[in-house]
Amino acid sequence: MEGDADIARTAALFADPARVRVLMALADGRSLAASVLAGEAGLTAQGVSAHLSKLLAAGLVTAEKSGRHRFYRIAGAAPELLEALARHSPARPVRSLREGTRAEALRTARLCYDHVAGRLGVTVTAALLDRGALATVDGDPTTQRRPGDRISSQLQEHPYVLGPAADEVFAALGVEVEAAAKSRRPLLRFCLDWTEQRHHLAGALGAAVTRRFMDAGWLRSRAKAHRAVQLTETGAAVLEEVLGVSGEQLPAPRPDHTARTA
């Protein structure tokens, strides 16, 4: 026989501020590594591990192994419970400008080896597909994760080819496809972005696009996060003009008084 639902036991999982920050970091549905969750929640590796163990046991998160790492995703009734609690909870004061800044910067835009990843990377890749610079050959006209794609990994096989407008679109960005193709590296490679769960452009062409953006001052490195980068105002304008990416789809740009525009 079973008694009444043990509401207090579940509620206790949401009573710890750090554990709630872990869940909130996962609330957008993406899978994140423990190290990223530790940064967003302000926890040590040991601390976030303890919280994740409790959440896993309760079925509020799931874990997926990819290579040497495990990626965690919100599950069960956690999304609905968070939304219900949020509707009846006061706003939490921001105690520090540094709170979550580095983790959010990496998720927004970062370098993955020598190409752009994060929200900016997948947005640009999707726009290249929409503009006909890239095309898919598997019947799925999106950059969404395909069955069998491993999280945070370069895809061994991918469904993309150059599209009919490749030369025109990349030339408008100042990138020569023919020159990139002369590299010893594959021209087209793609990664499954570990924060966005969508594909971003890698390979020789992805590196060429990133070099162009950095050289033109459309993309700048952030001072205190070595892999994080930030789109400048001119870069945002170029993406809107050439790729039709609206400002709402892009991270807030950085003023570029000294950025080169040619």
**The one-letter amino acid at 84:** A
Q: Find tokens 């001072």 and name the residue.
A: 223
| All domains of the chain in start order, with CATH | 7-93 (1.10.10.10), 106-249 (no CATH)
For residues 69-86, b (16+ Cβ closer than 10 Å) or e, as one string?
Answer: eebbbbbeebbebbeeee
Residues 6+ apart with CB under 8 A from 241: none
Angle at 63 between CA 60 and CA 64, to 5 degrees: 150
The structure's pTM equals 0.69
Residuewise pLDDT in 10s, the chain (262 residues): 667 888 898 899 999 999 998 988 887 667 888 988 888 788 899 999 999 999 999 999 999 988 888 999 988 888 778 767 876 777 665 444 444 566 677 788 988 888 999 999 999 999 999 999 999 999 999 999 999 888 767 898 999 999 999 999 999 999 999 999 999 999 999 998 877 889 999 999 999 999 999 999 999 987 644 578 999 999 999 999 999 998 878 877 877 654 443 3
